[in-house]
Chain A
Amino acid sequence: MMEWDVNIDGWIIAAGICSAMACALPGTFLVLRKMSLMGDAISHAVLPGLAIAFLITNSRGVLPMFIGAVIVGILTAVGTQVITRHGKVESGAAMGVVFSILFALGLVLIRQAADHVDLDPQCVLYGNLSQIPLDALDGGVPPAVVNVALALLLNIIFVCALYKELKICAFDPQLATTLGINANVMHYLLMVVVAVTTVASFEAVGSILVIAMLIVPAATARLLSDRMGTTLVLAVIVAGVSAVLGHLLAFRGPGWLGLDPSVAIETAAMIAVVTGVLFLITLVFAPRYGLVGKWYHRARLTLQIVREDMLGILYRWGEHRPGEDIFKEDLLSAVGRGTLARIALGSLQRRKAVESIGSDRVRLSATGRDAATKLVRDHRLWEGYMATHFDIPLDHLHEPAERIEHYLGDDLSEQLQKEMGDLGEDPHGRKIPE
């Protein structure tokens, strides 16, 4: 197995982290503005910019490449707009037209230059991370790392300086315009930043990682947070973690899989995979927007509904037959029996809302009675509300109220109270408890 070398792996990871984080920052705004694919388009389209810059200046200098890329980046955004507006082509398709033509052009140009430089089509896709440390002059900082670090710095400054404007534009471009912020200018500015980041990262990590890092960390963060600032920070963290894990897996992965240790996995590709896996994990396990979270929440809600149904039944039983306690089995069968009913009853007993009388009967405790009273009260007030406002036959009142009573929180309950509070009886003539 290859030895871990701080000088080599350190620089690779540094380059990976910097470019991943640099991409994640503007990427968050792309995802929020529903323009994710613009990032995809630009990262494809900068290719001819790089190639032309190289062919004209015959060098791989930073400045010409940078200028070429910015021009092409803007050209993509403008071209898409022109085709959408004047050609009446839907914007997604227009983007597809522009970036595929530009990418094809870039490929042809690169192939033309391929014999002479190491700008070959493979590098376009996954860059040259493993070569980075070798470029370092006399143990100094490798130039590629300097480039991506600069890009990261630039993006941090960009986001910090224009945070407010970016936020408003992402939220509501029209509002931004009325506030005196030119949303169009912000749009192009964002495009330029994306193009610059793409170029800076291109050499190190290739286009595939650029697209992945623009979109995936931001989408992951979206699943974890509703707030702009938090989303940004989370996206950057996800990007950084992916970079580290990605390289580790690329480096150690083959060994763990029992493959020949000489097997090399492209670090950039592996980073993209890792970030995808992180996204998937978040999609499933995120507390609020994850699938498991939703399932758990729903299950709890179902349980709560059964519990409240039980309380309601106990209360009404008490109304009908004061002093007589209900059989446990009757209570369970009234809510449909089954495991759910037993769990609900158990949980009510644990909360001391229901107490056992002897071995086979149950009754409401004092706390249980309070909760039940509130439920039944809400239920009957709701029936009253419905009957006042809608033309509903009496026998159709119960079920809607039955459904809604579980969802009326304190606020709504209070409002209901305010509107219908002086109602002494529900439409069926039953007393509304205080």
Chain B
Amino acid sequence: MSPSRSPDHRRFEHDQVHHDDDSPLSIHDMTVAYHRKPVLWDIDYAAPQGKLVGIVGPNGAGKSTLIKACLDLVPRASGSVRIYGKSYKEQRRVVGYVPQRESVDWDFPASALDVVTMGRYGRIPWCIPPRKNDKEAALHALNQVGMGDYAFRQISKLSGGQQQRVFLARALVQDARVYFMDEPFAGVDAATEAAIVTLLRELRERGRTVLVVHHDLQTVPEYFDEVLLLNMRIVAAGPTSSVYTEENLQKTYGGRLTLLTEAAEAIARSG
């Protein structure tokens, strides 16, 4: 039996945890809370190199939060995240991010090319405008997602699927080794969905690791090599063939985890 310790003790200990240095993403004992209400509990996970990983779980399971916590976009209550063995801060250059499409105002005064060029901003120093080669890279990425003809179109005049492709192109110009994509398949047409899948496979062939928050349970086995079933905690994670089972899905979606939700509520109320 391990002796009881104060919370401070516990936090201190995490700094000494050994992470898997070869893993594109290794998460150790991460807990995330919004206003003290835990939305992710004790996440332990190491993503395999060069695989397409689907993150699957019901609404409110913390899928987006998982990605955001890995990218330091929301504070972690405890735990640590390593990208190829180093902190996210040191590894920003090798990480690409596709936020949810709804997270931005598409009426913003910008063209598709403007948005894609933003993907290069990370490597341009402060106060220096993007150069010609940045624009060329952006144009190239737009062509890759089949949006070359729309480069100069105002983003609000694009369809939902086209907007999503613009976001993907922006991630492509980041030329990262690990990609985090938040629901890239949400609300897109069939053509875009096919284009995204092709793109994901291309990325995999080039040795990139892609973590994708995904909603459509039917397509999971077809699209992803690895799956991470999430409902506030990791229910199961591993190769799709062995982990993506009826039983595990039942656990994730079956609504038998009410106690967990209520415990989270209890913690929120107490604070």
Contacts and interface: CB of A to CB of B under 8 A. Distances in A.
B128 interface: no
A207 to B, nearest CB: 33
Interface string B1-22: 1111111111000000000000
Given A309-B6, A336-B5, A430-B1, A301 B270 contact: yes
A334 to B, nearest CB: 6
B1 A391 contact: no
Contact of A306 (B6, B237, B260): B6
Given A391-B235, A412-B262, A334 B107 contact: no
A121 to B, nearest CB: 37
Interface in A383-423: 385-386, 389-393, 396, 398-400, 402-404, 407-409, 411-412, 415-416, 419
Given A336-B6, A389-B257, A391-B235, A412 B266 contact: yes
B267 interface: yes
Nearest to B267: A407
Contact of A389 (B6, B42, B235, B262): B235
A400 B41 contact: yes
A335 B259 contact: no
Interface in B202-240: 233-237
Contact of A419 (B235, B259, B266): B259
B256 A389 contact: yes
A316 B1 contact: yes
A60 interface: no
Nearest to A309: B4
Interface residues of A, number: 38
B175 interface: no
B86 interface: no
A351 interface: no
A85 interface: no
A430 B234 CA distance: 25
Interface string A336-357: 1000000000000000000000
Contact of A407 (B107, B251, B266): B266
Contacts of B251: 389-390
A312 B3 CA distance: 10
B271 interface: yes
A206 B266 CA distance: 47
A334 B4 contact: yes
Contact of A390 (B233, B262, B267): B233
Contacts, number: 77
B42 A399 contact: yes
Interface in B1-54: 1-10, 29, 41-42, 44
A293 to B, nearest CB: 12
Contact of B44 (A336, A396, A402): A396
Nearest to A340: B6
B110 interface: no
B74 interface: no
Contacts of B2: 398
A313 B3 contact: yes
B263 interface: yes
Given A309-B4, A396-B44, A400-B41, A390 B234 contact: yes
Contacts of A316: 1, 4
Contacts of B256: 389
Contact of A412 (B5, B29, B263): B263
A313 B7 CA distance: 15
A298 interface: yes
Contacts of B107: 88
Contacts of B5: 334-336
Contacts of B41: 400
Size band of the interface chain B makes with A = 20 to 34
B259 A312 contact: no
A131 to B, nearest CB: 49
Contacts of A136: none
Contacts of A404: 263, 267
Contacts of A416: 259
Contacts of A415: 259, 262
Contact of B234 (A313, A336, A391, A400): A391
A336 B8 contact: yes
Given A297-B271, A389-B257, A407-B266, A399 B4 contact: no
B198 to A, nearest CB: 32
A396 B79 CA distance: 13
A297 B262 CA distance: 20
A391 B263 contact: no
Which among A309, A336, A407 has the greatest number of chain B C-beta atoms within 10 A? A407
A295 B237 CA distance: 39
Given A396-B42, A396-B44, A399-B10, A408 B266 contact: yes
Nearest to B42: A400
A301 B271 contact: yes
A245 interface: no
A305 interface: yes
A428 interface: yes
Nearest to B238: A391
Nearest to A418: B259
Nearest to B256: A389
B9 A336 contact: yes
Contacts of A392: 42, 44, 233-234
Contacts of B10: 399
Contacts of A320: 1
A391 B237 contact: yes
Interface in B233-271: 233-237, 251, 256-257, 259-260, 262-263, 266-267, 270-271
B238 to A, nearest CB: 9
B236 to A, nearest CB: 5
Given A393-B44, A416-B259, 11 more contacts: A320-B1, A335-B4, A336-B9, A386-B233, A391-B235, A392-B44, A392-B233, A408-B266, A412-B259, A412-B266, A428-B1
- The 6 A-B pairs of least Cβ separation, nearest first, read A336-B6, A407-B266, A391-B236, A407-B267, A309-B4, A400-B42
12 contacts: A335-B6, A336-B6, A389-B251, A389-B257, A391-B237, A396-B29, A407-B263, A408-B266, A412-B263, A415-B259, A428-B1, A430-B1
Interface of A: 88, 297-298, 301, 305-306, 309, 312-313, 316, 320, 334-336, 385-386, 389-393, 396, 398-400, 402-404, 407-409, 411-412, 415-416, 419, 428, 430
